[in-house]
Amino acid sequence: MRRILLAIIVLTWFLPSRGQELVVNFTFDTVCLTKITHFQSLCKIADTSAQPRDSIISLAWDLNGDGKFDDGNDTVNEISFATAGLHNVGLKAISENGLAKALYKLVPVNYLKPLFTSSSSCTQEPVSFSNHTIVEGDTAVSYFWRFGDGTTLAGVKNPVHFYADSGIYNVDLIASFPSGCLDSIKNSVFVAGPPTVVFEFSRDTIMIAGDSLFASVQGTYDSVTWSTKAKSFSIMITSAGYYSATVYSSGCFAQAGFHVIVKERAADPVICNIFTPNGDGYNDYWQILNLDFFKPCQVNVFNRYGIEVFSSSDYKNTWDGTFNGKQLANDTYYYFVRCINQVLYQGNVNILK
């Protein structure tokens, strides 16, 4: 009878008391790859007032997530994970009264590698930055940009930035975790300036009625669009108006234009027979009026002794009455003018000062 009673007492001693609960928990720090993650057990018996009192007698860690609690038995533990990301870590506790419980948590190990690309652009267009940063572990990443022109921006993953001037800019992207991981990358961004529009004309932009004008853009461009909707590098113009061309090069563009004036053709050039080259700013040059209608004009001027004192194969209304760098005397001189109409005009011109 005593043996049976003793066996019952021993069995009752190892049964958990009502109201007692084994709480399994642990803390860990969030680190970057290659750093050591530290663990701290927080296991406890929730109600220590119950009788008999219970206590934790065993701890076991599963640090590699293989389901086996064979990676340490201390209250604190540590490991340097070989890979970034979320790692399944478990802790099992056993109490003296036979309570047992295990808990698994996902433990992040952070890793980031900043990467970005940018769109090609010019000063009229924004540059778009595409963030391709590799992130493992924690997703709460902060971004900080230095655009290379003295401006910065924080908290935006994929920014858009305008550059006031063309050039090459060194752009920095700095990525960081709240836990302290930080890395950066520097890329060069090229911002092109607008192309220069240069026009060339087959003749002056003042046209004679009935004539035509050929206008061309000079340079190397990807494409050209005229205000007339033409896509060629040259156009033929037959009427007055404003004409413009938009040129495109490497994603940038520029526009320029010009006015075309049409004048009625005069019957003959009007050749002045007097001018006063005295430097007073009035009538200082010998003029052939309506010259635009008849040029180019071949001009030859002689003195009364038959000596040629002036000649030009394309007169520009710029003769100031000098010969060999010296001012000619007041006198009557004789001209011969033959223009594009092939009519020979001859007469005299007087120099008065």
Span 53-91, pLDDT tens digits: 889 999 999 999 999 999 999 999 999 999 998 999 999
pTM of the entire structure?
A: 0.54
3 state SS of 28:
strand
What are the residues facing 270 on neighbouring strands? 289
Predicted confidence at residue 19, as pLDDT, reads 62
Q: Are 137 and 59 in contact (CB under 8 A)?
A: no
Predicted confidence at residue 124, as pLDDT, reads 73
CA separation for the pair 163, 61 (Å, rounded): 56
Predicted confidence at residue 216, as pLDDT, reads 93
**DSSP track, 109-140:** EEEEE--EEE--EETTSPEEEEE--EEES---
Please tell me what DSSP assigns to residue 33. T
Span 239-253, pLDDT tens digits: 999 999 999 987 788
Q: Do strands 322-323 and 326-327 pair parallel, antiparallel, or not at all (unpaired)?
A: antiparallel
Taking the chain, what is the end-to-end CA distance rounded to the nearest angstrom? Answer: 158
| Domain ranges within the chain, ordered by starting residue | 2-109, 114-192, 199-263, 270-351
CA separation for the pair 165, 150 (Å, rounded): 12
Name the residue among 189, 112, 168, 188 with its Cα closest to residue 143: 112
Give the CATH fold of the 2-109 domain.
Answer: Immunoglobulin-like (2.60.40)
Predicted confidence at residue 94, as pLDDT, reads 96
Give the CATH fold of the 270-351 domain.
Answer: Immunoglobulin-like (2.60.40)
Give the CATH fold of the 199-263 domain.
Answer: Immunoglobulin-like (2.60.40)
Low-confidence ranges of the chain (pLDDT < 70): 1-19, 48-51, 203-204, 266
Which CATH code is given to the segment(s) 114-192? 2.60.40.10
Predicted confidence at residue 341, as pLDDT, reads 85
Judge if 114-192 and 270-351 fold alike in CATH terms: yes
